Structure 1
Amino acid sequence: MPHDESRPAADRSGAGAEEGLRRSAAFLVDEALGFAFPAALRAAADTGVADALAAGPATPDELAAATGTDARNLYRVLRLLATRAVVAEDERGRFTLTEAGQALRADVPYSVRDAVRMLTDRAFWLPAGRMTDCLTEGGTAFDAVFGMPFFDHFAQDERTAAVFHVGMAAMSEAENAAVAAAYAFPDTGTVVDVGGGHGGLLREVLRRNPGLRGVLHDRAHVLAGHRLDDEKEIAGRWSTAEGDFFTAVPAGDVLLLKRITHDWDDDECVTLLGHCRRALRPGGRVLVLDAVVPRDNAPHQAKAMDLLMMVSLTGRERTEADFAELLGRAGLRLSRVLPTPTVLSVVEAVVQN
Structure 2
Amino acid sequence: MTTKTSDSPLPWPPAAEQLPPHLRLMGIAAAKWVVQPVYVLAKLGAADHLAEEELSTAALADRLKVRCDPLRRCLRAAASVGIFRETEQDHWALTDTADHLRTDAQMSLRDFTVLLGEAPMWAPFGHIMDVMRQDTPAFDAVHGQPMYAHLAEDDELARTYHGAWSSLTEGVMRALTTAYDFSRFATIADLGGGDGTALRILLATHPQLRGILMDLSHSGEIHQGADRAFEERLRTVSGRLPDDVPPGADAYFLKNTLHCLSPDLVLQTLRRIRSEMTRPEQRLLIVEGVVQQGNGFDWSKLMDIEVMVNNGGREHSLEEWRTLLSQSGFRLTSAREVLHPQWLLEAEAA
Q: Secondary structure at the match of 2:122?
A: helix
Counterpart Cα distance in 2 of 1:137 and 1:188: 44
The answer to whether the Cα contact below 8 Å between 1:112 and 1:170 also exists between their aligned partners in 2 is: yes
Q: Choose which of 99, 122, 125 in structure 1 pairs with 2:122.
A: 125
Q: 1:98 to 1:232 in 2, by over 3 A?
A: farther
Name 1:5's counterpart in structure 2.
Answer: none
Q: 1:144 to 1:217 in 2, by over 3 A?
A: closer
Name 1:13's counterpart in structure 2.
Answer: none
Report matched runs for 1:314-325 at 5 Å: 314-325=312-323
Name 1:238's counterpart in structure 2.
Answer: 234
Name 1:344's counterpart in structure 2.
Answer: 342
Question: 1:170-200, CA deviations, whole angstroms, 9 ceiling, x for partnerless residues?
Answer: 4423333223332111334111111111111
**After the TM superposition, which segments of 4 or more aligned residues of structure 1 sit over 6 Å from their partners?**
none
- Correspondence 1:192 to 2:189: yes
Report matched runs for 1:47-196 at 5 Å: 47-196=44-193
The answer to whether the Cα contact below 8 Å between 2:84 and 2:95 also exists between their aligned partners in 1 is: yes
Question: 1:134-173, CA deviations, whole angstroms, 9 ceiling, x for partnerless residues?
Answer: 2233442223212233233334444443432333334423
Q: 1:50 to 1:276 in 2, by over 3 A?
A: same
The one-letter amino acid paired with 2:31 is G
Q: 1:341 to 1:156 in 2, by over 3 A?
A: closer
Offset at residue 275 of structure 1 (A): 1.9
Offset at residue 110 of structure 1 (A): 2.8
Q: 1:137 to 1:297 in 2, by over 3 A?
A: same
Offset at residue 217 of structure 1 (A): 1.4
Counterpart Cα distance in 2 of 1:175 and 1:120: 24
Offset at residue 238 of structure 1 (A): 2.1
Q: Choose which of 286, 289, 292 in structure 1 pairs with 2:287.
A: 289
Question: 1:58-106, CA deviations, whole angstroms, 9 ceiling, x for partnerless residues?
Answer: 1111110111111111111111111222211122221111122212111
Q: 1:295 to 1:231 in 2, by over 3 A?
A: farther
Q: Unpaired segments of 5 or more residues in structure 2? A: 1-16
The answer to whether the Cα contact below 8 Å between 2:267 and 2:328 also exists between their aligned partners in 1 is: yes
The answer to whether the Cα contact below 8 Å between 2:270 and 2:325 also exists between their aligned partners in 1 is: yes
- TM-score normalized with structure 1 length: 0.87
The answer to whether the Cα contact below 8 Å between 2:48 and 2:102 also exists between their aligned partners in 1 is: yes
Q: Secondary structure at the match of 1:215?
A: strand
The answer to whether the Cα contact below 8 Å between 2:56 and 2:90 also exists between their aligned partners in 1 is: yes
Name 1:270's counterpart in structure 2.
Answer: 267
Offset at residue 244 of structure 1 (A): 2.2
The answer to whether the Cα contact below 8 Å between 1:180 and 1:201 also exists between their aligned partners in 2 is: no
- TM-score normalized with structure 2 length: 0.88
Q: 1:82 to 1:177 in 2, by over 3 A?
A: same
The structure number with the bigger radius of gyration is 1
Counterpart Cα distance in 2 of 1:259 and 1:23: 38
Counterpart Cα distance in 2 of 1:133 and 1:243: 31
Q: Secondary structure at the match of 2:195?
A: coil
